[in-house]
Amino acid sequence: MKSTNEYLKILFASSLIAGITINHSAISSPLLDKVKNKIYGESNSSFITNAIDKSGPSVVTIDTQRIIRQRTFPDDSRIQLDPYFERIFGLRFPYELKQRIEKGQGSGFIFDDGLVITNAHVINNTQDLIVGLSDGRKFKGSVIGKDLLTDLAVIKLDGKGPWPKAVLGNSNTIKVGDWAIAVGNPFGLDNTVTLGIISNLNRDVSQLGIYDKKFDLIQTDAAINPGNSGGPLLNSSGEVIGINTLIRSGPGAGLSFAIPINKAKKIAKELIKTGKVIHPMIGISLLNEFNFETNKMNVKVDYVVPRSPADKNGILKNDFILKINQKSIISSNDVVNEINNNGIKKYLNILLRRNNKLITIKVKPIDIRNLPKN
């Protein structure tokens, strides 16, 4: 049986979606009082308004400019040559490099004095950054670190405060069904707000067809509009629990995702300190394979990168990973987490099952940048 709080959430969310106003004559007075108390408390302001008042001023607009260089033939040239044809036959014809400026826009928020966190894809390859605050001030910004694998970047503002800083929450305490408030500045519109709930806490990006990133995401039905990337996802108290990062459209509905703030805080700390992030890897890809006999999930090695630490230490395709450093492995996420927690300075003790035999192998991870290229 659903609790009163769940009914109130469903009722309130339904009224928002349908654009329905609550009619005193349509709802019994005790239930109406509970709904109003849940939304407004003892004041005339909703919890959404209070949440935005708390962290909304920290949200910024990020305007970017990239110089795009294109190779073109002179206007008076009659040459129309396929670049593949040119490379195969070793031909070289005179050409011109034309430049154009590509402008972009995204969101971010101030999380420390003069520091903004946003998505790496918002600022990647940009030559010029202008950061606009909600109070109308604008500052030039410089990227002090970015990590494309987790899609996070930190910008330092060129100026003096005071700085309106967001209140950072704890993404480990949120639950499915909690309120989620997405804030951003799409198309330069300050503090555009959408409301929804937390739909999933650990959405693996590979499930979304994304294989060049490395993080689990918070899934929400709060709409994240184009230009909202990098803005905060707030809880009902106005604390940042995630960073809006991407949208996936589906039949009849859109899915929105955010990077958990606890993960973002860790990445931001490394970017501020060194300008980069170490990603430990041993050089394997994994499959979650359900075993109907044991009614449990097994984690199988699907591919081993040649000359990688896994390859050099004897891990083979179709091996099953049972334990890492005495921790039982239930899913591929467990393997990734154990390798991350171990770092690149210590060996991993990996218990494998191969052809019904148990094998223990020691492997020392390396940074992903040092993995051999195929």
pTM of the model: 0.75
Which residue among 277, 307, 337 closes a domain?
Answer: 277
Domain with residue 300: its CATH number is 2.30.42.10
pLDDT at 168 over 90: yes
Assess whether 40 and 68 both reside in one domain: no
How far are the Cα atoms of 139, 301, 358 from residue 263, in angstroms, in the given order?
27, 26, 34
Our count of domains for the chain comes to 3
Assess whether 116 and 183 both reside in one domain: yes
Assess whether 321 and 359 both reside in one domain: yes
Assess whether 212 and 237 both reside in one domain: yes
Assess whether 183 and 65 both reside in one domain: yes
Q: What is the pLDDT of residue 255?
A: 77
Neighbours of 343 (CB within 10 A): 13
Assess whether 293 and 202 both reside in one domain: no
Q: What is the pLDDT of residue 260?
A: 94
Catalytic residue list? 121, 151, 229
Assess whether 250 and 333 both reside in one domain: no
Q: How does strand 192-204 pair with strand 216-220?
A: antiparallel
Give mean pLDDT, residues 301-305.
94
How far is Cα 102 from Cα 106, in angstroms, rounded to an integer? 14
Residue 179's closest CA among 226, 218, 229?
218
Which residues, in sequence order, are bridge partners of residue 220?
198, 256
pLDDT tens digits, 46-99: 899 999 999 999 999 999 988 777 666 555 554 444 555 455 455 555 556 677
The mean of the pLDDT values for the chain is: 81
Give mean pLDDT, residues 324-335.
91
Task: Enter the tokens of residue 43.
Answer: 């004041």
Assess whether 146 and 269 both reside in one domain: yes
Tell me which DSSP letter residue 205 carries.
G
Task: Enter the tokens of residue 281.
Answer: 């890897």
For 15, the domain range is 4-44
Q: In this structure, are residues 256 and 247 in contact, taking their beta carbons and an 8 Å threshold? A: yes
Q: What is the pLDDT of residue 299?
A: 94
pLDDT tens digits, 217-274: 899 988 887 778 899 999 999 999 999 987 665 544 567 889 999 999 999 999 999 9
